[in-house]
Amino acid sequence: MAKKHVDVSQIYGRIQYVTHFPDYKVQVVDHFPDLKVKKVRHFPNKPGLWKIVTRCPDYKIQIVNHFPDFKIKYVNHFPGVR
């Protein structure tokens, strides 16, 4: 099965972690991420800025260990596309 292309620069905003029916499957890595993510409380309005919510998300994300749509690394500084 072909991996679907994801424009990770568009993945920001209100993010809900789910275990079923995600918009994207994501693997958390330490090296070579597709997107560097910073968790924020306010203004998740740029690539890599995620506000974690429990309802009304912009995107539903499932954390997986294998076969992700893209890979992320959590950071405190310089979020966005690598």
d(CA 75, CA 35): 10
71-82 per-position pLDDT tens digit: 999 999 999 997
Structural domain contains residue 19:
yes
Structural domain contains residue 72:
yes
Mean pLDDT of 7-21: 97
Structural domain contains residue 15:
yes
50-64 per-position pLDDT tens digit: 999 999 999 999 999
Q: 18 lies in which domain range? A: 8-77
What pLDDT shows up at residue 5? 82
Helices (H), the chain: none
Q: How many residues in the chain? A: 82
| Residues in Cβ contact with 72 at an 8 Å cutoff, skipping those fewer than 6 apart | 26, 27, 28, 29, 33, 34, 35, 36, 37
Structural domain contains residue 2:
no
The per-residue pLDDT of the chain, averaged, comes to 95
Structural domain contains residue 45:
yes
Number of domains in the chain: 1
Task: Please give the model's pTM, rounded to 2 decimal places.
Answer: 0.91
CA distances from 71 to 27, 30, 31 (A): 5, 10, 9
Residue 33 has pLDDT above 90, yes or no: yes
